[in-house]
Structure 1
Amino acid sequence: MKYLIIIIIILIPFLGISKTLENLEYIPLFNNDVAAIKKGNEWRFIDQDGKIIVDFRKHLVSNQTEKASYPIFSNERDLIAHQKDGALNYVYIDKTGKAVIKPQFLNAVNFEYGKALLLKVEKETIGSNDIFNKDVVSYHYFEVVIDKVGKTLDHLTQLAIHVSPKYKNPPAISSRFISRNLVALKGSDNKCSVKKID
């Protein structure tokens, strides 16, 4: 009996009983030990054994490469665009699909060197409307650097930039990492500067 079980286990792949991922539209190369696979307009992540680690989702953010656009994990994090109050907010998930940094960003990019650049939205109460018994609020954002748990390491823009709470297209992130601890900042005059991030 023991030998019969061993023979069946060995033959399972040859009998076609193993689980096969079929009808996929795109399979990119592995990045950070996982690959995104596409079916319809949804993506899922598999590990190097073909095991599904993050099931199909519509809101994974794609990254443009030389050949295609697809979601990637970078520094154990992936971006999801999360709908909140009629506007997109970005959230980072880990390889279990769990949100590890709450949605609070107007725009965001993948992690590099254990850090990410993003536009962090802040809500400021600037007064109150006594007739409607409501606060008058202003939304603004800063370009910031965060670590892998969401802690703000540095503000890259010093002045708050006003944004509508119902924005259609998020502003672009103008900074970029040029090394592990250096960020290139683009000024309003289109001239650049370099800032060290500890």
Structure 2
Amino acid sequence: MKKMLVLLVVFMILPLSALSQNIKNIDFVSPFYDGLAAIEKDGEWAFIDESGTIIIDYRNDVVLNRFGDDSYPVFNSGRCLIVKKEKGISYFGFIDKEGKTVIEPQFLNATSFNNEMAIVLQLHENVLGENDLLDKRVIEYTYTKNVINTNGEAIMYLSEKPSHVTLSKDYLRVPPEIGAKFISNKLIAIKTDSGKWMIRRIDESNQ
């Protein structure tokens, strides 16, 4: 008798559990990319798998990509671009499909991954000396344009020379332009200092 009661309770709960998996009142649903689709609710984004299960809960730090008239975050190569603000300056990094930060926000700008590569603006801190009067280090900031792998390691350097930057929210109100883009799995277009574009092949000789 006790066993029958347990089974009855289980069958009564199952339909309720199934219904609780339905996701309602969503403002936007993206197509699937890399096995995940982004859903928006009240200005925050979560990700669902192909069974409709939310695997990354709602958050507000993902970076949106533009697709025609729509904008939404995407996964590619198991990575999704995120942004974090510190002292008014935006720093970009990446999460994995569990929502864990796997590449810390550190870049002044970054593209989403493509074929396990992303283009980033890597910040560099150069100590020029000491200011004895103020007892402070004199620091110069520059950045370079690099291609990284999914571990955040630079595998290709794109800059003709480092670019100087003033690390202040008054000067960095928006992220610097990346000025480079993947045009195929083997080619990358790079804007030179003269404003012209050049095309480079992505292979081991460039790394």
TM-score past 0.5 threshold? yes
Alignment length, in residue pairs?
198
- Secondary structure of the equivalent of 2:20? coil
- Secondary structure of the equivalent of 1:29? strand
Separation in 1, partners of 2:135, 2:189: 45
Displaced runs of 4+ in structure 1, greater than 2 A?
1-20, 188-191
Identity of aligned residues (%): 35
Tell me if structure 1 keeps the 8 A contact 2:94–2:102.
yes
Deviation at 1:195, TM superposition (A): 1.6
Separation in 2, partners of 1:154, 1:50: 38
- Secondary structure of the equivalent of 2:188? strand
2:181 corresponding residue in structure 1: 176
Letter in 1 for 2:77: N
Question: Structure 2: which 5+ residue stretches go unaligned?
Answer: none
Q: What are the Cα deviations for residues 152-188 of structure 1, in whole angstroms up to 9, with x where unaligned?
A: 0111013111112121111111111122232111123
The match for 1:189 among 188, 191, 194 is: 194
Q: What are the Cα deviations for residues 78-121 of structure 1, in whole angstroms up to 9, with x where unaligned?
A: 01111124311001000111111122100001111110011111
Tell me if structure 2 keeps the 8 A contact 1:12–1:18.
no
TM-score (norm 1): 0.91
Pairing 1:69-148 to 2, within 5 Å after superposition? 69-148=71-150
Q: What are the Cα deviations for residues 42-100 of structure 1, in whole angstroms up to 9, with x where unaligned?
A: 10111111221111111110000023000110111001111124311001000111111
Letter in 2 for 1:194: I
Q: CA RMSD in A?
A: 2.2
Question: Structure 1: which 5+ residue stretches go unaligned?
Answer: none
Letter in 1 for 2:184: S
Deviation at 1:192, TM superposition (A): 1.8
Deviation at 1:144, TM superposition (A): 0.6
Tell me if structure 2 keeps the 8 A contact 1:62–1:70.
yes
